[in-house]
Amino acid sequence: MSTSSIPQGEDRPSGRLKALKYIFIIIFCVYAFRLFNMQILNGQFYLDQAQNISRRTTIIPAQRGEIYDRSFSRPFAINADSFAVTIVPAEVERGTMSDLIERLSEYLGIPREQIDRKIPPQYYGLYQSLEVASNVSYETIAILAENRDIFPGVSWQSKPMRNYPDPGSLSHIIGYVGDITRDELTMLYNQGYQQGDVIGKTGIERQYDSLLRGKAGRETRTVDVRGRRISGDSIWEAPVIGKNLVLTIDRSIQTLAEKALGERIGAVVVMRPSNGEILAMVSYPWYDPNLFNSSDMSSQYQTLINDPNKPFLNRAIQSNYPPASTFKIVMTTGILQENAFPSDQLVECKGEMLYGERLWRCHIRKPGHGRLNLTGAMAQSCDIYYWIVGRESLGVERIVTYAQDFGFGESTGIDLPGEISGFIPTPQWKDRRFHERWLGGDTMNMAIGQSYTLVTPIQMVNMVAMTVNDGVIYQPYVLKEVRDPLTGEVEQTAAPKVLHKSDINPEVFRTVRQDMRGVINNGTARLPLNIGAVKIAGKTGTAEVGLQDRWHSWFTGFAPYETKNPEERIALSIIVEAANDWEWWAVYASSIIFQGIFTGQTYEEAVKNLTAQQHLLPVRGRRE
């Protein structure tokens, strides 16, 4: 064995130790650098992150903006003082939660099941505050405070409740609010909405929710891993109050229209045709939005949903009706503009006519209206005149064109949710829908506003506005101004927007207005609407719905008939559904509304005045 092999063997352990020492040195240097980086170079970043992990943020709801009438003096929606009651489950002694919930249910006057749903057993160990009831009165909070020793873990905080003073028929315009649903949150999450937010459900509350809701505040506090508060100051971010909204609605006209319609299923729209402002909008039946503040909101909602009269439905913009003889305004406009038939040529009405093996009867039976020109046919609402001229001279294609020119078949774009567009039929539609050819009888039915043609009351008032404005229709709107909630300063004002401008000759509209005045002077509405307060022009209509003793009752018109100031003109449309007992009420309701508006009288004063003049004598058998 060589002697040189011994030193070499002795050197091997020493080499391994050196290598291991260098490895430890490298590891130490890496960790030292890492600690230096975390504590010195990026210390603030990790400190902030650690603080964020141990902090809990509580949302502070913003007070919702209020809603006012056009004068900014009468509130439609305000915030009433109210409280929310919360529980921190972990602060309740084990085994006593059930008794606590039972007592709380009794004091708050809400079902125990409602609290159980919000605090299931798996939440009993949480130190997080959970809301169990909202819209709690001050009196109830005072009682809880007096008995605080039997309510461990229970606390309360201010949470304003939405209140609607004397809503009546305003419910369809204003709408109501409620907790955001899962589906709504899915759609609106990216817009800053969160679970637990209160959101507008219908009407203005929904349409302008982004303006009304404001911006929620936040309270950030330090907590431990179980959510218990640790000493230290909270960080506050104050909530921002939502904007106040001023509507175009005139409360006195709204009340007048509401009472004039009465408890009759139907709708009223009153508009200023010179700019599209909605002064009143009534739909009956309505509902009380304050019901949704009650503890049994779910049952109240279900009752309204199941009501066969559909109180949630805003019939002014969400119901279709045959326009009936009011459609003769469209027909007269088309006949004059197209020179389709000489306006002074007479057509004989014998009360009935035979066409297509069917006997067609005018609303005035034998001997009929006699010989009529266009003006007389409009005044007397003669079906036979429009049947003959519509079928033989104007034709379905041009009738469709003029109906669309007046805005039928399209939504008006009013700033309320849920508007429908009505319907104008065409030969092509009938072929696709029924696989049937368009017949002359279809044209005749369309010429008097029956059969497939459907319109809404808001479209009807736009038809009158176009006639008044020589072919211009302004988009109807309800929001007038946006105001600062603290100073009341106007931040935004709605500007009139032209929805449509027709190429029809202004002289044609002047003649149509004259013929609409003839309806009042010596036509179908002579008795109820030829009042002394103001000169009215318009058109009546009775829409057939397949019943022998009832029809939809229509009136649409404007006043004053002549004026040098277009701003003072008012257009309205009224529909009283056939669901009511027949009394031809639309024209009488119109006379009350016009009388009240142009004399400044209340509903009661207007009725008394018109009754004395014998303008308010409904005739149950009257048609057209």
Q: How far apart are CA 284 and CA 265, in angstroms?
A: 5
Q: What is the DSSP letter of 321?
A: B
Q: What is the DSSP letter of 325?
A: G
Task: Please check the confidence at residue 52 and state whether its pLDDT lies above 80.
Answer: no
Average pLDDT score over residue span 71-84: 91
What pLDDT sits at residue 6?
44
Q: Is 179 exposed, middle or buried (CB count within 10 Å of its CB: 0-12, 13-18, 19+)?
A: middle
Domains in the chain, CATH or no CATH each: 56-79+161-246 (3.90.1310.10), 82-159 (3.30.70.2110), 251-287+317-484+497-612 (3.40.710.10)
What pLDDT sits at residue 540?
96
In order of 18, 21, 102, 155, the CA distances from 148 in angstroms are 73, 68, 15, 9
Q: Which residue has the tokens 């949903």?
A: 305
In order of 157, 161, 563, the CA distances from 134 in angstroms are 10, 8, 54
Q: Which residue has the tokens 């909605």?
A: 278
Average pLDDT score over residue span 370-383: 96
pLDDT band at 1 (very low <50, low <70, confident <90, very high): very low
What pLDDT sits at residue 354?
95
Kindly report the pTM of this predicted structure.
Answer: 0.84
Average pLDDT, the chain: 89
What pLDDT sits at residue 160?
79
Task: Please check the confidence at residue 342 and state whether its pLDDT lies above 50.
Answer: yes
pLDDT tens digits along 492-531: 999 999 999 999 999 999 999 999 999 999 998 888 999 9
Q: How far apart are CA 611 and CA 595, in angstroms?
A: 12
- Which of 336, 467, 435, 466 lies closest to 389, judged by CA? 336
Q: How far apart are CA 176 and CA 173, in angstroms?
A: 9
The number of angstroms, rounded, from the C-alpha of 541 to the middle of its chain's C-alpha atoms is: 27
pLDDT tens digits along 383-405: 999 999 999 999 999 999 999 99
Alpha-carbon torsion, ordered 434, 435, 440, 441, to 10 deg: -30
Task: Please check the confidence at residue 294 and state whether its pLDDT lies above 80.
Answer: no
Residues 305 and 202 sit within 8 Å (Cβ to Cβ) = no
Task: Please check the confidence at residue 424 and state whether its pLDDT lies above 80.
Answer: yes
**Mean pLDDT lowest for which of 155-164, 437-446, 561-570, 612-621?**
612-621
pLDDT tens digits along 202-238: 999 999 999 999 988 877 777 655 555 666 667 778 8
What pLDDT sits at residue 2?
45
Average pLDDT score over residue span 332-354: 96
In order of 310, 422, 487, the CA distances from 594 in angstroms are 28, 27, 37
**Mean pLDDT lowest for which of 127-131, 164-168, 443-447?**
127-131
Task: Please check the confidence at residue 596 and state whether its pLDDT lies above 60.
Answer: yes
What pLDDT sits at residue 395?
97
Q: Which residue has the tokens 């349409």?
A: 207
- Select the more confidently predicted residue: 237 or 297: 237
In order of 206, 294, 417, 527, the CA distances from 199 in angstroms are 7, 17, 14, 49
Peptide linkage before 323 cis (omega within 30 of 0)? no
Residues 42 and 48 sit within 8 Å (Cβ to Cβ) = no
Phi, psi values for residue 11, rounded to 5°: -75, -20
The total of other beta-carbon atoms located within 10 Å of residue 260's CB is 26
pLDDT band at 548 (very low <50, low <70, confident <90, very high): confident
Task: Please check the confidence at residue 446 and state whether its pLDDT lies above 50.
Answer: yes
SS3 of 4-63:
CHHHHHHHHHHHHHHHHHHHHHHHHHHHHHHHHHHHHHCHHHHHHHHHHHCEEEEEECCC
Task: Please check the confidence at residue 62 and state whether its pLDDT lies above 90.
Answer: no
pLDDT band at 57 (very low <50, low <70, confident <90, very high): low
Q: How far apart are CA 599 and CA 613, in angstroms?
A: 15
What pLDDT sits at residue 198?
87
Tokens of 138: 């001050």
Average pLDDT score over residue span 420-441: 97
**Mean pLDDT lowest for which of 94-98, 332-336, 410-414, 498-502?**
94-98
Average pLDDT score over residue span 102-121: 88
DSSP string, 264-298: SSEEEEEEETTTTEEEEEEEES---GGGGGSTTHH
Q: Which residue has the tokens 């913003």?
A: 62
pLDDT band at 54 (very low <50, low <70, confident <90, very high): low
Residues 552 and 543 sit within 8 Å (Cβ to Cβ) = yes
**Mean pLDDT lowest for which of 54-58, 153-157, 401-405, 504-508?**
54-58
Tokens of 60: 């502070």
- Select the more confidently predicted residue: 280 or 48: 280
pLDDT band at 114 (very low <50, low <70, confident <90, very high): confident
Residue 178 neighbours by CB under 8 Å, 6+ apart? 198, 199, 201, 292, 297
What pLDDT sits at residue 236?
76
- Which of 29, 48, 25, 49 lies closest to 37, judged by CA? 29
Task: Please check the confidence at residue 622 and state whether its pLDDT lies above 60.
Answer: no
Average pLDDT score over residue span 102-129: 86
- Select the more confidently predicted residue: 61 or 512: 512
Tokens of 382: 């003669």
What pLDDT sits at residue 168?
93
What pLDDT sits at residue 125?
82
Q: Which residue has the tokens 């309800």?
A: 478
pLDDT band at 47 (very low <50, low <70, confident <90, very high): low
**Mean pLDDT lowest for which of 18-27, 100-109, 134-143, 242-251?**
18-27
In order of 123, 374, 463, 501, 573, the CA distances from 556 in angstroms are 60, 19, 9, 21, 4
**Mean pLDDT lowest for which of 32-46, 163-177, 535-549?**
32-46
